[in-house]
Structure 1
Amino acid sequence: MTPIMTRPKSQTVCIAYAFGGACALIYQIVWYHAFIDQFGAAGTTFLVVLCTFIGALGAGSFASKRLYSWLDARIGGHGLKNYGRTELAIALSVTLLFGITKLSLESILGSFPYHLEVINGLSLWIPDATYQVLRVILTILSVGVPCFFMGLTFPYLCSVYSDEKTFPSRLYAANTLGACVAAFTTEFVGLQTLGYIGCLFLAVCINVVIALIFLSAGRSEPGIESVQDQAQTQISIYPGILSGLLCGGVQVLAYVLLKLTLGPTKAGFALLAFFCIFGIWLASTIVHRFHPSRALLFMLSCLGLLWTAAIWFIEPRMSEWFVQFGIRTLASWSSYNAAFLATTATIGVMILIPYTLWSMLLPDLCDRLQSQGKNLSFAYGVNTISFLVGVLIFGWVLQNIHFFFAARTFAWFATIGLGLLAFDSFTPRISAKVVASGVVLALLGVPFLPKGLEMRLVGGLAPSQKIVAAYRSTSQHLFWVRKSADGGALMFDRHSMSGTQMSSQTYMRAMAHLPLLLNSDPQNVLLICFGVGATADAIRMHDSVKHVDIVDLNPSVFLLNSYFAPQNNHVLSDPRIRLICDDGRQFLKFGSNKYDFVTMEPPPPLQPGISRLYSEEYYQQIREHLNEGGIVSQWLSESQLDQRGVDLICRTFVQSFEHSFLFVGCKRELILVGSDKPFEFSRVAQKLKMLPKVTEDLRRFKIYQPMQFIESILRIDEGMRRNWNEGEIIQDGFVSLEGIQVSPVQQIHPKSQFAAYKPNLTYDLQGVHDYFVQSQKTADEAAALAAFYADPSTDLEAVKYIPQAYFPHIQK
């Protein structure tokens, strides 16, 4: 055995490794947010980033011993100088590879990288395999290469300090402590102030500083070699395998359960990462300080499974209790702080205990291997790969059946796995035959597990709102059709994304009818986000329309639409329509198609990843695809936003389009309309005379006269600019809308701004009136407007769907 030479104290390395862990989590969170642009979906991005992150760590761990031996033989610089080189490699690879994901793929893929597939009788344009694979490969490269270098370091540093038997658990604790602090501060502070690139740059600088410190220290220290493996009692790595599988499975299942019970929020990913890493830190600290026996670790692991089962049975009551706690007990707090605490408590109770108890198995295993002078590369690598397997099985493969079946399978696998752990804990070493028998038993039991939906777990809905007509499940969402007395709805997890209620139909059709009536000759139309098909049905009623591209990220939205066909008049059978299954922003990157009208009804704007469909860069993409005089419209649900959210959306829209106006679609569902040319409102009445199908459709929703459209305009041009011409806007690379809501608490908290009417969302009486007065072609409309403003009750139909709060001069 080569004697250990003089070297820095292990505490110094632990401190540096804590900062390294912080950098790793900064990268992970930035990658998660930034790569939503690549996939357009938070769930898919979560899986790709997490799997690549963990898989590359495992690959690095496997390669650690051989790679550093090769490095020592070629260029020397044993010990911590190699660690400095690795930190520098992390910084360089992050910097160089992050840029490749921003490269334009049009020159490689062409202007329309889609192929036609017929699924359940529907013709869908699906992204080509080359397109999909190239996106994934670029993301895997940019995440995987830096994470591979990160994975090299843990086994290597443990080998450098191989004479310190508990060094692995100490080092692991230090790394995860830095990581959990970074997870919290990056999401809630860094992304808002520095943006994605700023946070990335900060982490790169930290890596470079660590590299320079150890490269400098390495020049003056003698060569250091690890303690050679000694012939000792064989130690089973089964606990490391089980720990990885259970932790990977429970993390990804908790992510999905959170969407079903509490709902998708921007806090979900960061807080889940925080509690998982905090659990690893607790586990490592407990193992380092108290050295629990293997028998005790087994019993604690069983307790983790019991805790998980208890959460399964008490949800969604637990989440709803925390929401009520935030609303009632914390009524004197600000709505944001109350929501944050409620969300933090929900996620912490859901994940922290089982994750901590199962995570203790790995540092215990590493300490036992270290005490025998064994290299940790294989054990640490197997743990991370089994974590990856858990994520893929329970977060991807089985999610295509549905979450409930995936969770039942996880519980069954965990039970068998803990049974095998008993053999390992109370015998010298578990045999391969016993493990193989356990795996076979687990697989044989899967076909006998219940496969039905367990809709009681869906939170925020009454039992009568959980009646399922049909469903499709993917790793992204549980898509289902809700049957209810007031009409059906298309549900994503626990949220209604679109519905057939009268109020919903009214605004969804108005956002197409009015802009198309203002356009002189609309022929080509782009609809981003399909919903239940009401907007598409309204578009095709305009005889001049020759072609409609409908883009929706989720094929399930189209495949479930047969349940809404009676309400949308079987719109998907129209030969003018082309259905494209892709993210709207990705679609706009390809080709040079020009449209006369573009309309968008994305999911609620505060959901993760959706603000990119309201950003300055997105509107720039749309402008590039609009013909001269083309018009764009976008849904603005002001009751689902606070004042800041409304202002961010309106300000970004107004500053992106030279001419704009805001009108009431129905009640508090508002519509933004923009163009590069002034609006010709005289066309509305003229065109309606020639469009009997449009006239009939409007009458079904109580719109009898063209004047009703004009009466619904809150602000136009100068009135829009007066409110929203300057100030903060939504930009790619910064968390904006996602930073507003962290829990449903904010929707119904006593101090909530969401339910309140916004002071600047009222009629600009003088501004709108003057706009029409200045147009000689609409002088009659100006006179009618003056009469309506003086006494809105003169139009009883209009005041039914325009809230009185929008009339500042008649509010009581």
Structure 2
Amino acid sequence: MKLKPETSDKLPEKTTTPLGFLVLILLSGGAALIYQILWMRQLGLVFGNTAQAAAMTLGLFFLGLACGSSFWGWLSPRIKRPLRTYAWLELGIGLSGVLCLPLLHLYREIYPALYGQFADSWLWLIKALLALVMVFPGSFLMGGTIPLMGKFLVRERLAFGRITASIYGINTLGAATGAFAAAFIILPNLGFRLSCLTAVSISVLVALLALRLARRERIAAPDQLPPVSPQAEASKAILSRPFICLLAFFSGFNVLALEVLWTRMFALVHENSVYSFAAILVVVLLALAAGAWLASLLARKSRGPVPILHLLCALSGLSVWIVPTLFLKLTDDLQMLPEKGSFVSYVLQLFATAFGAIGLPCLLLGVLFPFLMKAEERFAQSPGKSIGLLAGINTTGAILGSLICGFFMLETLGMWRSMQVLAAVYLLLTLLLPAAGNLLAQSVKVASAILLLLLFNAWKPAELPVSAFDPADGPQEVVERWEASDSTVTVVRKANGEHAIRINSNYSLGSSEAYMTQIFQTRVPLLAFPNTKSIFYLGMGTGITAGEALDRRDFPQVERITVCELSPEVITAARKYFGGSPGRPDLVNGLFKDPRATVLAEDGRNYLMASKERYDMINADLFLPYRSGTGNLYSLEHYRTARERLNPGGVYVQWLPLYQLSQQEFGVIARTMLEAFEYVSIWRNHFQPGNEVVALIGHIDEKPIPSSNIDTSQEQLRAVQGARAIDLPRVVLPVNEQTIPLFYAGNLSNSRDRFEMYPLNTDDRPIIEFNAPRSLRQPQEAGRPHFVGKKFAAFIDHILADTPPASDPLLSDRKASIRELPLAGAAFHRAWIAFADQDIEALEHHWKDFIEHWLATTQN
């Protein structure tokens, strides 16, 4: 009887990683990164988008990987069908992805009940336990995939290093693909739930493919690999097992620590959108994948690993050392990447800059750990066990590297000095490696010793810049700087003596120069709603806005304010430079001393969700729409939470920087607020064209704006007496409880139909965070799309036409004459636009219209 050839899983040397298995490994790595990104985003919404919460989630994810690698590696010698077990792990990963959806819903329900019931230390423990339940099971199973695949594929000891490095390379390439797909394709188009189900589908597909391929497992995988021949063993320089483990640990430690540093470094020159961070992550992963492929090639060609490890450690140290020099040269000493051009051209430039600055170091770092598998060959009796052990040690190092660098090294040593220390670690490892009488290894040791001396004597990290500013802003002097775990906070003094707080060089939180704009973020809503006694401020910046509510002369009714600011360093900067420290004026009305005020270093959204306190007003600061992590402050879930924290008759004030929004983003935010609040009105902060700031005020009932009986008619007359259109810049209008409707721009609730075309911004579909960076980067010839000037003025004309002030229910308690003020405000704004355009004819027309409505309000 003629038998069919038996299919064996003992793969020949030249076909150890056939296409089917490469696809499995690639897809598995891609799904893992999608899960990681999704879990971190969603847990950030529950626990707060603080650096500590993010580090906790990431640390627990890596802890699961480390434990999984160690456990499944330890168990692998007893597993006779590793590919089948691999398939079951992937199914388990998919199940954990499905279960995260109800778990997140449960967390949102129980977390507010836990908040405030425990001290901070206990609350952090509870957060950690909740996050552990969420991310640990899936990551624990993920940790077992590579050891089991190694167990299946490696059947000859001398092939261990090469095959394992190939597995790591393909898996990391999949991770890079998953990171790119999640940020640029899946999340923007599908949202969280569908993205999660997409990752689950990939895991299930991988499991089914693995089960199909598992049919080849007719012969069980051996418990132990056959020993290496004495001749092959003698040809290899010996590296002890403890030193292999030490290199594995520091490889993980340094890679994650450097990723933290490089992410911070790039934050100094790009817009800090979700795409910017994703681009850096993709570059790092692609370079690490290429490094693993190179490690596989070296493992195939080399006989002894020790000389090559000397070279790798020395070159890694040198490449990390030169990163700051390369980066400063590529960015012209930390100048922002150009904002002109399309979104695609910007992203391509970001990728090019990242590859130019960190591509080579990442490549070399990516070689080191996979190539250690070549040194492990002589100990690799069971491939899965060896892979699991080293992967667990490497991942443990990664956990500690990210935490120690983020929360200790950055704050104590700074960014450039931390890179210097990590470069030195590689050079020290080179010196500690045994040379085994090899001339090349000994030569590299001498070179490393010289480089180490030069690193700490010829290179001065303290002299390198850690921030730069737009030359168009004029000369600025750095007064003080804090390099914190989540950002670099800088206080600068401008040529005119005014101070400003900046985040990562390019993002201004406010300045004393913009004092009027900031105080009007409090004055406008408080003058419109003078019965307000308690206020919650979402975001603090300089503290000028919140401090204005403590003005006892104008707002004596205010009894309590709570201010939440995400960055503790921003609070420190505001207290020191705006809070009336010796030699400096108090611009915040005693915000940091007044017993009525509480200033918290908290995620404001998280605090509102968890706390049961209620307020008459919630005042949300200006948030850059496309900045990573701020899009959730415009979500439907957040607005509904805020609504629940308002007292009867309370209002939610959402300030919007129209000079950073397109009409699309404005429409999305307005539509979302209209979904959360019964009534929404729109108010101006000022009338200057080109940098308009407005507030969308959400009302929980149709209670009209309170009436005012003060008589300001004489002040109003004096303000315009004898003034002509050309005198517009010198006109100062009185702003008080009576004249505040001048800033009222209309009732959006009666214009709902105008917003039905816009989608809702939700936690599941974060449109603002993903679409704003795209829509604000139009081709240069198309002009900038910001919703300012004539675009905004035309929009307000339509809103006022839909609901004329004379019949607006929100103005029903005001006298008929006072209801002319919104029309006066619209004409005043139009006059300013004409003045800026030097259109004298239009200026005269709108000035005349303004005077007509303004004077009408002075009549009884």
Which range, TM-score by smaller chain? 0.7 to 0.9
1:383 aligns with 2:394: yes
Q: Aligned in 2, Cα 1:109/1:521: closer, same or farther, shift over 3 Å?
A: closer
1:672 aligns with 2:696: yes
1:563 aligns with 2:573: no
Match of 2:478 in 1: 468
Deviates further, 217-226 or 660-669: 217-226
Provide the C-alpha distance between the structure 2 equivalents of 1:449 and 1:537, rounded to a whole number of angstroms.
45
Provide the C-alpha distance between the structure 2 equivalents of 1:348 and 1:15, rounded to a whole number of angstroms.
26
Deviation at 1:129, TM superposition (A): 1.1
Show CA shifts across 1:309-356 (max 9, x none): 3331244442359988856xxx6xx52112111212122223221111
Deviates further, 16-25 or 237-246: 237-246
| Counterpart amino acid of residue 656 in structure 2 | L
Give yes or no for contact 2:314–2:426 (8 Å, CA) kept in 1. Answer: no
Provide the C-alpha distance between the structure 1 equivalents of 2:511 and 2:709, rounded to a whole number of angstroms.
27
Give yes or no for contact 1:516–1:522 (8 Å, CA) kept in 2. Answer: yes
1:133 aligns with 2:125: yes
1:194 aligns with 2:190: yes
| Counterpart amino acid of residue 804 in structure 2 | Y
| Counterpart amino acid of residue 768 in structure 1 | L
Q: Aligned in 2, Cα 1:41/1:221: closer, same or farther, shift over 3 Å?
A: same
Match of 1:357 in 2: 364
Give yes or no for contact 1:101–1:139 (8 Å, CA) kept in 2. Answer: no
1:50-449 correspondence runs (5 A): 50-69=58-77, 72=79, 78-97=81-100, 99-104=102-107, 110=113, 113=116, 128-164=120-156, 165=159, 166-215=162-211, 218=214, 221-228=218-225, 230=227, 234-236=238-240, 237=244, 238-289=246-297, 291=300, 293=302, 294=305, 295-296=307-308, 298-299=310-311, 301-319=313-331, 335-370=342-377, 373-374=380-381, 375=383, 376=386, 377-401=388-412, 402-421=414-433, 423=435, 426=438
Residue 550 of structure 1 aligns to a residue whose secondary structure is: strand
Residue 704 of structure 1 is aligned with which of 695, 715, 734? 734
Match of 1:724 in 2: 755
Deviates further, 732-741 or 632-641: 732-741
Give yes or no for contact 1:245–1:389 (8 Å, CA) kept in 2. Answer: yes
Give yes or no for contact 1:712–1:802 (8 Å, CA) kept in 2. Answer: no
Residue 535 of structure 2 aligns to a residue whose secondary structure is: strand
Residue 779 of structure 1 aligns to a residue whose secondary structure is: coil
| Counterpart amino acid of residue 523 in structure 1 | K
1:547-562 correspondence runs (5 A): 547-560=560-573, 561-562=575-576
Residue 527 of structure 2 is aligned with which of 512, 517, 538? 517
Deviates further, 706-715 or 344-353: 706-715
1:642 aligns with 2:666: no
Residue 481 of structure 1 aligns to a residue whose secondary structure is: strand
Deviation at 1:508, TM superposition (A): 2.4
Deviation at 1:56, TM superposition (A): 2.7
1:25 aligns with 2:33: yes
Give yes or no for contact 1:518–1:680 (8 Å, CA) kept in 2. Answer: no
Provide the C-alpha distance between the structure 1 equivalents of 2:682 and 2:328, rounded to a whole number of angstroms.
39
Provide the C-alpha distance between the structure 2 equivalents of 1:425 and 1:241, rounded to a whole number of angstroms.
26
Give yes or no for contact 2:631–2:768 (8 Å, CA) kept in 1. Answer: yes
Match of 2:675 in 1: 655
Deviates further, 674-683 or 130-139: 674-683
Q: Aligned in 2, Cα 1:740/1:641: closer, same or farther, shift over 3 Å?
A: same
Match of 2:724 in 1: none
Provide the C-alpha distance between the structure 1 equivalents of 2:200 and 2:844, rounded to a whole number of angstroms.
52
Residue 483 of structure 1 aligns to a residue whose secondary structure is: strand
Provide the C-alpha distance between the structure 2 equivalents of 1:664 and 1:4, rounded to a whole number of angstroms.
75
Provide the C-alpha distance between the structure 1 equivalents of 2:604 and 2:421, rounded to a whole number of angstroms.
35
Provide the C-alpha distance between the structure 1 equivalents of 2:522 and 2:601, rounded to a whole number of angstroms.
21
Q: Aligned in 2, Cα 1:533/1:241: closer, same or farther, shift over 3 Å?
A: closer
Q: Aligned in 2, Cα 1:133/1:760: closer, same or farther, shift over 3 Å?
A: farther
Match of 1:543 in 2: 556
| Counterpart amino acid of residue 258 in structure 2 | V
Residue 781 of structure 1 is aligned with which of 795, 805, 818? 818
Show CA shifts across 1:450-485 (max 9, x none): 785844544646897653333433211222322223
Q: Aligned in 2, Cα 1:470/1:743: closer, same or farther, shift over 3 Å?
A: farther
Match of 1:607 in 2: 627
Give yes or no for contact 2:72–2:147 (8 Å, CA) kept in 1. Answer: yes
1:27-46 correspondence runs (5 A): 27-41=35-49, 43-44=51-52, 46=54
Provide the C-alpha distance between the structure 2 equivalents of 1:807 and 1:138, rounded to a whole number of angstroms.
61
Deviates further, 568-577 or 472-481: 472-481
Give yes or no for contact 1:262–1:319 (8 Å, CA) kept in 2. Answer: no
Give yes or no for contact 1:79–1:224 (8 Å, CA) kept in 2. Answer: yes
Give yes or no for contact 1:522–1:597 (8 Å, CA) kept in 2. Answer: yes
Question: 1 or 2 for the larger relative contact order (CA 8 Å, sep ≥6)?
Answer: 1
Give yes or no for contact 2:91–2:203 (8 Å, CA) kept in 1. Answer: yes
TM-score, normalisation: structure 1: 0.83
Residue 599 of structure 1 aligns to a residue whose secondary structure is: strand
Give yes or no for contact 1:169–1:288 (8 Å, CA) kept in 2. Answer: yes
Deviation at 1:581, TM superposition (A): 2.8
Give yes or no for contact 2:331–2:337 (8 Å, CA) kept in 1. Answer: no
TM-score, normalisation: structure 2: 0.79
Q: Aligned in 2, Cα 1:286/1:785: closer, same or farther, shift over 3 Å?
A: closer
1:768 aligns with 2:800: yes
Deviation at 1:94, TM superposition (A): 3.3
Provide the C-alpha distance between the structure 2 equivalents of 1:802 and 1:576, rounded to a whole number of angstroms.
47
Deviation at 1:22, TM superposition (A): 1.1
Provide the C-alpha distance between the structure 1 equivalents of 2:700 and 2:123, rounded to a whole number of angstroms.
33
Deviation at 1:575, TM superposition (A): 1.1
Identity of aligned residues (%): 21
Deviation at 1:410, TM superposition (A): 2.1
Give yes or no for contact 1:511–1:634 (8 Å, CA) kept in 2. Answer: no
Residue segments in structure 1 that go unaligned for 5+ positions in a row = 116-126, 690-699
Higher alpha-carbon Rg: 2
| Counterpart amino acid of residue 739 in structure 1 | F
| Counterpart amino acid of residue 580 in structure 1 | L
Deviates further, 593-602 or 742-751: 742-751
| Counterpart amino acid of residue 134 in structure 1 | I
Q: Aligned in 2, Cα 1:591/1:248: closer, same or farther, shift over 3 Å?
A: closer
Match of 1:122 in 2: none
Provide the C-alpha distance between the structure 2 equivalents of 1:477 and 1:114, rounded to a whole number of angstroms.
30
| Counterpart amino acid of residue 197 in structure 2 | F
Provide the C-alpha distance between the structure 1 equivalents of 2:352 and 2:629, rounded to a whole number of angstroms.
23
Q: Aligned in 2, Cα 1:797/1:596: closer, same or farther, shift over 3 Å?
A: farther
Residue 549 of structure 1 aligns to a residue whose secondary structure is: strand
Q: Aligned in 2, Cα 1:791/1:276: closer, same or farther, shift over 3 Å?
A: closer
Deviation at 1:87, TM superposition (A): 1.5
| Counterpart amino acid of residue 150 in structure 2 | C
Match of 2:540 in 1: 530
How many residues align? The count is: 768
Residue 540 of structure 1 aligns to a residue whose secondary structure is: coil
Aligned alpha-carbon RMSD (Å): 4.2
Residue 628 of structure 2 aligns to a residue whose secondary structure is: coil
